[in-house]
Chain A
Amino acid sequence: MNDSTDNIIVDTATRILQDLCEPHTINEAENGIWPKALWAALEESGLPLTWVPEELGGAGATLADGFAVLRVAGRFAAPLPLAETLMAGWLLTQAGIPLPNRPLTIAPVHADGRIALGPDGTLSGRARRVPFARNAGHIAALVQRSGEPAVALVAAAGLPIGQATSLAGEPRDDVSFDGVTPEAVQPVAIDRERLVAFGAAVRVQQIAGALEKILEQSVQYALDRVQFGRPIAKFQAIQHNLAILAGEVAAASAAADAAAEACAAPEIAVGEIAVAKVRCGEAAGTGAAIAHQVHGAMGFTYEHSLHHATRRLWSWREEFGNEAEWAARLGRMVAARGADELWPFITVGS
């Protein structure tokens, strides 16, 4: 089986990441070395502009294409803000703001982040754990202007940024917007809830991709590693654990597909995104645990690349709403509709 698909955008992403996103690149990025060659290759391919229409200088590809690219980026643990630049491109496009220099990121990421635009044209508020804020040229922020949502484009240079990292060692910075004048502001028909839902749909693609990777690594490791005179893949206990892992990967992949479809609908179907973030978050936890168990002590070393995927899984499941938040929201949706509408809710859209 080769990695070629019938999608040229996905193939391009795969090729670039295969060539330039090596384990040492990922480790270096964690140590603060920007993966320059990788970003340059991505920029040259136009991939960061997947969701920007051609008239605004983008690639004008479909949402589905972009989500497929993010699946690949998740598989390779791409240590740069490709997902965030894609999202920012989507958000800016919704507001009709032309794209500035990249990379980009977005804010807020957490439901409690609030940024407001005052009558004097300056922002106030703070966003926690903004991905790659220190690397970004600009931040696309969803703000409130007189109680209405708007997108504000903010130059990142000079912003007070408190540096912090995710479990995967990726930048997750606290950003203060107090007194900052945005370069552009436009109203947008997206509220914070929708932005968080869209972000969740993005993260589940990355989770699904990373899960595919750890399944691949775990199967290969079990076939290669010899103990008690035979490959550990021959032991039933290992086989069954890997079968469970394969099930979790398949479920996450199917749920992520549903979330991607839900975003393409005229009204983002929040229910399906909730389903996906809960299911993928659970699969991330269960899957990473099995992958580590199969890899034994070797997989617990920094030297082995397994942690590139597993630490990202633990980090991504937390962003744009974790399993608990989304499950509660889903439960409330279902309860509000009532017991007799539960089955129609499950079968809605089909």
Chain B
Amino acid sequence: MTYSFRFDPIELPPEARELRQEVRVFLQQEIKAGTFSPDGGKGSFSREFSRKVGAKGWIGMTWPKKYGGHERSHLERYVVVEEMLAAHAPTRAHSTADRQSGPVILRYGQQEIKQKILPQIARGELCFCIGLSEPNSGSDVFAASTRATKTDGGWLVNGRKIWTSNAHQADYMIALLRTSPSTKENRRHGLTQFLVDMRTPGITTRPIINLTGAHDFNEVVFDDAFIPDSHRIGEVDMAWKQATDELAYERSGPDRWIETFPCLVELVRLVGEEPSERLAEGIGREIAHLATLRRMSLSVAGMLQAGKTPMVEAAVVKDLGTNFEQALPDKVRLLAPPGGDLSPDTNDDRFERALRYATLIAPKLTIQGGTREVLRGIIARGLGLR
């Protein structure tokens, strides 16, 4: 009996290697053109950039061509995503739709909606947000209570979603709504997924400013907002059956270990070509973690491509990855204390900017998209402990 999780070795096919070079060239051109700044100085949300990425054919890459997709492999998609993230490209206007919302619509959406929405996502024209959390349901997703009540030709929605990233900029939300009470036998019963047009009358979005001072979170209030039945995604009351392999994508992608990477890059820049033994060792340790995580994350993409559903492996990647990226700024800070001997002069504060950003966002990394505690529960279940 073996309890170890397998991460199949993966070799990227030649077309993925070529694609990587193509993406790097594109990103360099965009940086030169001033579309974005690799130190994040111009923000992470740009509809203009997303349209250019769409025009390149790099959104909805794995989807069928009849829905605007490009029928390429998950590994090719992986390469595009990691190159964008490593370069700090502003992908937020399309990344949620590309990663999560599009695949859900593709799999469970009604024909008319698939034909209308998916090509627009693939062109980089639509921004999505995800309506899961509520004031009284965070990690306990299936406790959602925002109601969708059947009405003539559709549903009337009442209630509140909270911590909704990008809701103020999104065109659509995929919302998890209560259509029936849960049952004694199945507490996850009674929820249904819907595609919600954010311009629908009765929807109000209010900003929640986070501790970095940025506006990312929102509260979204529904007051008799009407959703046509054609926008229902999947069977009524059966959403719990749907949230399966999409989570493997969400949990194992490069965004789960790369968020604070810029502070390591800037540390390497700061220490120069011949660092002290102590600095070299400190940097080397982090590289060892990063390189191993990337291998594991790529391996999950390979397993998905091979038609497997590595749910537990994806949870392992996210747990290890988010712990790594969260701990990184603290390691970097102790190697090169801000204001210390190595600190940059005032003309160039790329290092301190990257470190400050990484330190401030660190707390959220092990909360968003499934907390550390939820993930470890999933892994423990995978080990047969519960």
Taking Cβ atoms with an 8 Å cutoff, the residues of A that contact B are: 1, 3, 212, 215-216, 219-220, 222-223, 233-234, 236, 238-240, 242-244, 246-247, 249-251, 253-255, 257-258, 261, 271-272, 274-276, 278-279, 282, 323-324, 326-332, 334-336, 338-340, 342-343, 345-347, 350
Contacts and interface: CB of A to CB of B under 8 A. Distances in A.
Given A247-B319, A247-B320, A255-B295, A331 B4 contact: no
A242 B275 contact: no
Interface in B263-305: 264-266, 268-269, 271-275, 277, 279-285, 287-296, 298-299
Contacts of A338: 268-269, 273
Q: Give me the 10 closest cross-chain CB pairs, A-B, nearest first.
A: A331-B280, A327-B284, A331-B284, A330-B284, A339-B269, A239-B380, A278-B288, A243-B379, A331-B283, A243-B376
A272 B287 CA distance: 10
Given A243-B376, A338-B269, A254 B7 contact: yes
Given A219-B384, A247-B319, A328-B277, A258 B295 contact: yes
Interface residues on B, range: 35 or more
Nearest to A345: B287
A338 to B, nearest CB: 7
Interface in B231-276: 264-266, 268-269, 271-275
Chain A interface main SS type: helix
Given A1-B2, A328-B284, A350 B17 contact: yes
A212 B4 contact: yes
A278 B313 contact: no
B269 A323 contact: no
Given A254-B292, A332-B274, 15 more contacts: A223-B385, A240-B373, A242-B385, A246-B383, A247-B316, A247-B379, A251-B296, A258-B9, A278-B288, A330-B288, A336-B273, A338-B269, A343-B86, A346-B291, A350-B11
A274 B292 CA distance: 11
Contact of A331 (B266, B282, B382): B282
B168 interface: no
Contacts of A346: 287, 290-291, 294
Contact of A334 (B7, B266, B268, B294): B268
Contact of A219 (B289, B291, B373, B383): B383
A196 B385 CA distance: 40
A328 B276 CA distance: 9
A276 B269 CA distance: 24
A31 B58 CA distance: 63
B331 to A, nearest CB: 12
